[in-house]
Amino acid sequence: MNYVIIGNSAGGIAAIETIRECDKKGKITVISDEPHFNYSRPLISYLLGKKVTLEAMPYRDKGFYKDNEVKLILNKKATRLDLKQKVVVLTGKQMIHFDKLLIATGGTPIIPEIKGFDLDGVFTFIKMTDVEGIEKYIKANKVKKAVVIGGGLIGLKATEALIELKIKVTIVELADRILSATFDKKASSIIETALEKISCKLIANNTVMEIKGKNKKVKEVILKDKKKIPVDLVIVAIGVRPNIELVKNTPIRINKGIIVDGFMQTNVKDIHAAGDCCEAKDALLNISRPIAIWPVAARQGKIAGYNMAGVKEEYQGSFAMNSVELCGIPTISVGQTELDEKDCQILEHFDQNKSIYKKVILKGNRIVGAIFVGDIERAGIYTGLIKDKVDVTAFKEHLLKEDFGLISLPKEYRKHLVSGEVAVI
């Protein structure tokens, strides 16, 4: 059995491990368009900010591919799929034959239609090569000030890294606040205050219309409201969209991402997709959509791996969830964090002095979302309650109490958790 995996990140690695668990003999080949050993994408901001070293970047240890008997092809991009012949064509015309294929190409950064995007000193922030480029540029050009376009997770992590490097940052965000996709106003305000303290400037309700340069290097950006900001470096961090280049012009059905069923299979037999490039079941919203989060990609890769190896495992679906520490403040957001007031019940605890914010959103007596800023202790319990769609009527008042824990849950529910039996996933 010839397993071919395009993509060497969360989805791909999980698939490798799962396939090997079930099939000790099959041949596994992994194709990556990057030059690096597997690494964790979310770590690149830590790398830029010198919080981790290059040695700490690998996601799995040195012997991973050898121990799992996987052929690793680095630095080659999959350019074309020949579904009839069941072949993947790489740059340099190399052809890899497959019996089962997993497309785990991840996401590709959203590039805005801005004049001057191709100037030197303008970077996206997705891959390790981006970080390498940025580091080189900073060193060569003595960068002192930067603009980060996009106040989402990627933009904020990039900002933090730049501030560590003693660069002054201005964030330009289209919405009225940072992290508008995952945080509500109160949560965002806590982080915005913290950013102010470290001299980071935030310009909301605005966007960059043009980047101007001198001698091909970036010199200033012009905003929608005509304001001009001088810069030495621009990082575009608007977001990612599924990387579906490869499957365009093939019978593989796509929407925003590659459409997969409950077994991570596309409409074409023996072709699976997982991770940021696909759209699969959102268990909360009950629709299919891309959820570009590391643990979701890992889970999808695992399920894809099982099914590719002949073990029928159904994907239970996931939902949006994010955990990130910003300016030293831990934050977690899960599920639906922004719902219309009349559709739901909101429980809130906001201590502005301590910069602590906790919010639980209920719909029909079930938790559908939660935000934690400053105090993330035991947040996972809420994630579990969302996932298991537990009716919380009996202990609603306890949800935001200091001592909320498994002890607040009905005994029968926690019995299976506490008795040492395996967690139900």
Partner 1 sequence: MNKNQKLANKKKPKRIVIREEYCMGCRLCEVHCLVRHSKTKNIIKAYKGEYPRPIPRIIVEEKGYVSFALQCRHCEDAPCLEACITGAMYRDKKTDAVLCNEKKCVGCWMCIMTCPFGVILRNVEGEKVASKCDLCMGEEIPVCVKYCPNEAIICEEKK
Residues that bind partner 1 (CB under 8 A): 14, 40-43, 46, 51-52, 56, 58-60, 294-295, 298-299, 302, 321-325, 330, 332, 334, 376-381, 383-384, 387, 403, 405-408, 417-423, 425
Q: How far is the CB of 43 from partner 1 (least distance, A)?
A: 6
Q: How far is the CB of 304 from partner 1 (least distance, A)?
A: 13
Q: What separation in angstroms does the CA of 115 have from each of 65, 104, 133, 218, 239?
A: 43, 31, 21, 11, 19
Residues whose CB is less than 8 angstroms from the CB of residue 297 and which lie 6 or more positions away in sequence, other chains included? 9, 10, 11, 14, 104, 106, 274, 275, 276
For partner 1, the closer of residues 151 and 335 by Cβ is: 335
- The 3-state DSSP composition of the chain as helix, strand, coil percent (nearest 5) reads 30, 30, 40
What φ, ψ does residue 384 adopt, rounded to 5°?
A: -60, -40
Q: How far is the CB of 130 from partner 1 (least distance, A)?
A: 17
For partner 1, the closer of residues 88 and 297 by Cβ is: 297
Q: How far is the CB of 382 from partner 1 (least distance, A)?
A: 9
Measure the CA angle with vertex 46, ends 45 and 48; round to 5°: 65
For partner 1, the closer of residues 62 and 248 by Cβ is: 62
Q: How far is the CB of 61 from partner 1 (least distance, A)?
A: 8
279 touches 260 (CB < 8 A): yes
For partner 1, the closer of residues 35 and 405 by Cβ is: 405
For partner 1, the closer of residues 251 and 380 by Cβ is: 380
325 touches 355 (CB < 8 A): no
For partner 1, the closer of residues 195 and 298 by Cβ is: 298
Long-range contact list for 398-406, CB < 8 A, 24+ apart?
Answer: 399/347, 399/360, 399/367, 400/347, 400/348, 400/349, 400/358, 400/360, 404/378, 405/378, 405/381, 406/381
Q: How far is the CB of 372 from partner 1 (least distance, A)?
A: 9
Pair of tokens at residue 137? 């540029």
For partner 1, the closer of residues 151 and 384 by Cβ is: 384
Q: How far is the CB of 110 from partner 1 (least distance, A)?
A: 21
